[in-house]
């Protein structure tokens, strides 16, 4: 994200449109997030070439204008984003129609439920390290499934073998200590 100054007019316009809805404004993760009955529904953030309007449960929107994007194809399941490159791109009535549908979907209980899976796809390099180091194997077995998945994904996402090796070296002490890759971001 970049400074709001570059998109001041666009952000003010979007905030004024959101103020016409039943949602409440708050700041979460450093951005404006609009909630309804405590549920995160919409977020706004400026970027280099656009201002993004996020719909946290956007997968349920009908999107009659075909404007919604999946911000991270293959990763993001429910969230959808509408990008505005200028103030002229923001049509109050169109944006309001999407916001109203978002609120109605929330009232109807439409909510993405994360798929739980017990499958663990270990990268070959991690399997080998576990097989060669009994202490590491025992520590890894004690971890929760979610922590095991975090470590496996961290290595699997590296394209180059050198990067995989570097990541394995970084996480080995964490595994032995029972510390998850993302523990520092989780509430205590």
Per-domain boundaries in the chain: 4-107, 124-183
pLDDT in 10s for each residue of the chain, 188 residues: 456 678 999 999 999 999 999 999 999 988 999 999 999 999 999 999 999 999 999 999 999 999 999 977 767 788 999 999 999 999 999 999 999 999 999 999 998 877 666 778 899 999 999 999 999 999 999 999 889 989 998 999 998 999 999 999 999 999 999 998 877 766 65
d(Cα 171, Cα 154) in Å, to the nearest integer? 9
d(Cα 157, Cα 95) in Å, to the nearest integer? 36
CA angle 100, 16, 41 (to 5 degrees): 40
pLDDT the model gives residue 60: 94
* Type and span of the H or E element at 43: strand 39-46
Domain 4-107 has what CATH class? alpha beta
The structure's pTM equals: 0.65
Residues 63-98, buried b or exposed e (16+ Cβ, 10 A)? beeebbbeeeeeeeebbbbbebeeeeebeeeebeeb
């Amino acid at each position: 994200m970049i400074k709001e100054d570059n998109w001041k007019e666009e952000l003010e316009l979007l905030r004024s449109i959101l103020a016409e809805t039943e949602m409440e404004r708050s700041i979460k993760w450093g951005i404006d997030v609009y909630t309804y009955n405590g549920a995160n529904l919409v977020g706004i953030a400026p970027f280099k070439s656009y201002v993004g309007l996020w719909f946290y449960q956007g997968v349920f929107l009908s999107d009659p204008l075909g404007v919604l994007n999946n911000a991270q194809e293959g990763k993001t399941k429910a969230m959808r984003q509408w990008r505005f490159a200028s103030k002229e791109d923001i049509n109050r009535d169109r944006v309001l129609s999407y916001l109203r549908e978002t609120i109605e979907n929330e009232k109807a209980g439409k909510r993405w439920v994360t798929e739980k899976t017990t499958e663990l796809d270990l990268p070959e390099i991690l399997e080998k390290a576990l097989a060669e180091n009994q202490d590491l194997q025992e520590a890894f077995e004690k971890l929760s499934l979610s922590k095991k998945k975090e470590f496996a994904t961290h290595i699997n996402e590296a394209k180059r073998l050198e990067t995989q090796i570097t990541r394995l070296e970084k996480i080995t002490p964490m595994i032995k200590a029972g510390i998850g890759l993302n523990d520092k971001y989780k509430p205590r």
